[in-house]
Structure 1
Amino acid sequence: MGDANLESATLSDAIAAEVEAGLGAPTLAAALEALLLVSDEPVSSAVFADFLKTDENDVITTLTALMRDYAAADRGFELRQTADGWRMYTAVTCSDLMTRWARDGQRAKLTQAALETLAVIAYKQPMTRARIAAIRGVNVDGVVRSLVARGLITESGTDEASQAMLYRTTPLFLERLGVEALSELPAISPLLPDIDDAVDLFDAMNAS
């Protein structure tokens, strides 16, 4: 009976229990939300528990409470549990809206950071976020999410060695550039002269 009550707890119940227990800030719920927002692939409860140094059953209980709370609040996003773990997704009811937004709603020019990230992916695709970050020398999580939202890049399987998500450009990317194929892109050297050396260095570091 106790386990059933825990599983059916609302998000507010879960947070209140943590505060009462004196676990401090951030709460487990807040920590999990933060990690979910920057995760581009499903993450298992075991990985969350290991990273947060907490009990896996507590992680599962809190994730379940979050999932139910989002569903009850009719959010534009939802938390799903798949065979590979937990991940945030756009709500199904908003899928058409997101497609329209990616194609027509974001007319603002891309930032310099977005252009550089897009160039790296275009010339060396498919690429993982770690590879892109190694080449650019900065965290690219937010930029990658923005490019995915705009429909300019998309997920393209996982890297065999690291199992990290791979990204490649989309037909919309070519359309926006006014070309029909990647082979029509200009030579890489004037744009990113050090990209090949950076990729070789990244591969060498991972192989050691």
Structure 2
Amino acid sequence: MSDEERRDSLADQAAAWIPPWERPTPPKPRTETDATPEPSAELEPPATAPAEPEPAPVLDDTEPAPAPAPRTPAAPPAAAEPPIVDAHRSPRTETAQDPAGESAAEPEGEGGVGVPGKRGRRRPTPEPEPAPVLDDAELRGALEAILLVVDQPVSELTLAQVLEQSPERIGPMLDEIAAGYTAAGHGFELRRAAGGWRLYTRPEYATYVERFVLEGQSVRLTQAALETLAVIAYKQPVTRSRISAIRGVNCDGVIRTLVSRGLVEECGTEADSGAFLYRTTTMFLEKLGLNSVDDLPPLAPFLPDDVEELADATR
């Protein structure tokens, strides 16, 4: 090859030389795993061009403008969630609302009572039936029966409440009863005293009443009862067996008599034997005029001189 030919070939090579950064990337060799079927051109949906907006019609000056299209009503707002009711709050501070927006629970009125299951509706409490009005004869008998058992003067208001009658009827009826007793000459009378009414015996019969009342208190005790009472007074508290041992005879009946007269009473049991203990009462001190049992006279002046010898002999 001549020099000219070599020079031309080098020039051609230099002109055909492409820099590395401008050379195209060689295709990556395909493998079996990477082989994926290319989508067919027939399955691709045809591209649709966007519809162009229609041009607004040109209106003539003589034609009226078309009416605007009616607006579509907006969707109603979602229903509000019901308020959370605190279980610790009192039900009186909240009232249920009915669909019309009005309060379903009526305010409490006079005699209003809540009815369960009626949405808080209230109905008036039924008034109690009035007490039957007694006639004069029945009212008179009822008053007399009550006055026979009272132990202190009773007022007209109390009698009216017990009989469920008007107080205006009680006063005149009591006056009528009192006048009737006086006119009939009974041994008792109905008298107003200490703000009330009570039956009293008439003063002219006081002698007979006093004789009757004092007769039961003037009954004398037997010798056995006096001896038993003396033993209890000086040895109290004491058991029946101890009293019987001192007196030398059984004294169960005498003790029952003293208990019924209110002079002796039980005061517990003995710790060792569990027998009942007896002592004198306040009435015993009242009858003897003593303040306490310590005021009893000493027994030493009334004892014989050989009391110790007698005590040894009994042992």
Give TM-score scaled by structure 1 length. 0.43
Which structure: greater helix fraction?
Answer: 1
User: Relative CO higher for 1 or 2, CA cutoff 8 Å, sep ≥ 6?
Assistant: 1
Pick the structure with greater CA Rg: 2
Give TM-score scaled by structure 2 length. 0.29
